[in-house]
Every structure is written in structure tokens, then in C-alpha cells.
Amino acid sequence: MNKQITVVKDIKEMSKLSDEIRKKGEVISFVPTMGYLHQGHISLINEGRKRGNKLVVSIYVNPTQFGPNEDLSRYPQDFEGDFKKCEDASVDIIFYPDNSQMYPDGYKTYVNVEDLTENLCGASRPGHFKGVTTIVAKLFNIVKPHIAIFGEKDFQQLAVIRQMINDLNMNIEIVGMPIFREDDGLAMSSRNAYLSPEERKGALILYKTIGLVKELCNNGENDASRILKQAEIFIKLEPLAVIDYLKICDSESLKDVDKVGEETLFALAVKIGRTRLIDNYLF
């Protein structure tokens, strides 16, 4: 028999609960999610359970991080399934707010990390990270965690959140967890649910391209533009794939670099049909 999960929908109730937990001297670990949980999320949740006494998972599809032509309206949701997975993973509290509480009429405040948000997904999805940092700041203020856990698949998101935490003096430890992959290498993502069987096969091009790039580097190539050119040619062999970006950049500044070295990041975003997928590899 699993322990009871508390589902909290009300912001004030969550805030009060967190205050009580903190007053007892317990450590709150926190995994913010948009739901439709997969093994990647579970790996974050498992890490959270190790690191805290009280484990909070939020499930909230944040509208402000979606652009006007993005997939907000069709983003997959399955609260019952998520609840079951959280129960199995011994989550203590699910925070499950709604839009009218998170962004009431007259909402006006946004948190923005400049500079780090200009390249990669920030360039393809204007305003996306402003939405991410705003909702994460809000969730942190409500849940008041000691530790928060994010996946490295969203590498830029993790970098941006670390920057926000440091800059705004939020006293929260940020933990990044490795990309969790399907058996064939596809990075786990809630958006994989959009893929038709044929697209699911085509989606493997992202992981294969990482393999190609590693192979090139292992063979002594370190020129970023030559590597990116080869990766581009390679991806174009997959008829379902349309490149959004292919980048080799510094893993701290997220600025493009000319040569691959230590702490260089290879990151890519590719559309497979209507579904935009991302992946990355840190050298």
C-alpha cells in the first residue's frame, strides 16, 4: 500500500503547506512538470525523493511559454495517469493549479533572463523562456523548495533557470539530471506522443545525428562549421525531418563557438511532421 498523495489545487493552500513543512525543518524537493509524465520525469522524481523529506511535483501546462502558433491547445494531458505514476514514485504532494489562479485577469509581471535566452530555442521560440522563468519563479515562490530538479534535455532551460536563481538570490539548489532515452535512443518527451508510427521512426534522426557528431569528433574533427554542415546533410536524408536549428556552442554562455572543445554543447531542434523535438550532447 502506497502512502497517501495530497493533491493541492489552491495556491494559498500550497504556500501554507510549504510554510508548515519548512517550519518543521523538513527539506522540500520539487519537480516542476507540464504533466503527461514519462520515465524522464520519473528519474527526476526519484532523484527528488532521495534529496528531500517532502517531494512536491507540480503539473501545470504553462500557457505563457507557448507561442501563438505552438501546440498549447493540443499539449497532451492525463492527470489520472500522472497521479498513478506519482503514487508509484512515492510523491508526497501534487500541486495542480489552474490558469485562473496562476494568471488571473490583469496579470502583468514577467521575469526575463537576457542574453542566455537569445540563441537556440530562444531564437526559434521568441518569448518562450520569459514564460518559463516567470512560471518557475511563481512556482518557487509558492512551493518554496530547498531543491528543484530539472532535466538536461532542456539544456538551455536549465542554464536559464540557474542564472535566474543566482541573479534573483533565490536560495534554491538546482539539480540537473541526464537525458532519459527510449531503448533506441530517442530522448523521452511528452511531445513524442504526437508522433505517428512512421514519424516515431523518423524521430530517431536526432539521436543518430548526435552519434554522427560524436563520431566526427572522435575522428579528430573539431571545426564547428564543418561538423554542422555534415550534420545538416545527414538530417536532410530523413524525409520527415525539417531542421529548426543545429548549433555548437559554449555550454555556459550558450554562444556559438568555432571549435569543439571541452564543455562544448551540440544542440539541435528538428521538426518531425508537426512535432518539434530537441536533443543535445555535451562534449
Interface ranges with a copy of itself (CB under 8 A) = 11, 15, 19, 23, 25, 107-116, 133-134, 137-138, 141-142, 163-164, 167-171
Q: State the nearest-atom distance from the C-beta of 108 to a copy of itself, in Å.
A: 5
Q: State the nearest-atom distance from the C-beta of 164 to a copy of itself, in Å.
A: 5
Of residues 3 and 24, the one with the C-beta less far from a copy of itself: 24
Write down the catalytic residue from 38, 41, 128, 146.
41
**Strand pairing report for 264-272 and 275-282:** antiparallel
Of residues 63 and 273, the one with the C-beta less far from a copy of itself: 63
Of residues 133 and 157, the one with the C-beta less far from a copy of itself: 133
Q: State the nearest-atom distance from the C-beta of 227 to a copy of itself, in Å.
A: 28
The secondary structure element, H or E, covering residue 244 is strand 241-250
Round to whole Å and give the CA distance between 270 and 282.
Answer: 18
* DSSP bridge partners of 177: 151
Instruction: State yes or no: is 41 an active-site residue.
Output: yes
Longest dimension (CA), the chain: 58
Q: State the nearest-atom distance from the C-beta of 265 to a copy of itself, in Å.
A: 18
Exposure letters 177-201 (e unless 16+ CB within 10 A, then b)? bebbebeeebbbbbbbebbeeebbe
Cβ burial of 277 (10 Å; 0-12, 13-18, 19+) is buried
* DSSP bridge partners of 243: 270
C-alpha triplet 29, 35, 38: angle, nearest 5°? 85
The residues near 209 (Cβ < 8 Å, ≥ 6 apart) are: 231, 234, 235, 246, 268
Q: State the nearest-atom distance from the C-beta of 139 to a copy of itself, in Å.
A: 8
Of residues 116 and 268, the one with the C-beta less far from a copy of itself: 116
Nearest to 14 by CA among 131, 132, 135, 101: 101
C-alpha triplet 176, 78, 160: angle, nearest 5°? 25
Of residues 164 and 265, the one with the C-beta less far from a copy of itself: 164
Residues annotated catalytic, as ranges: 41
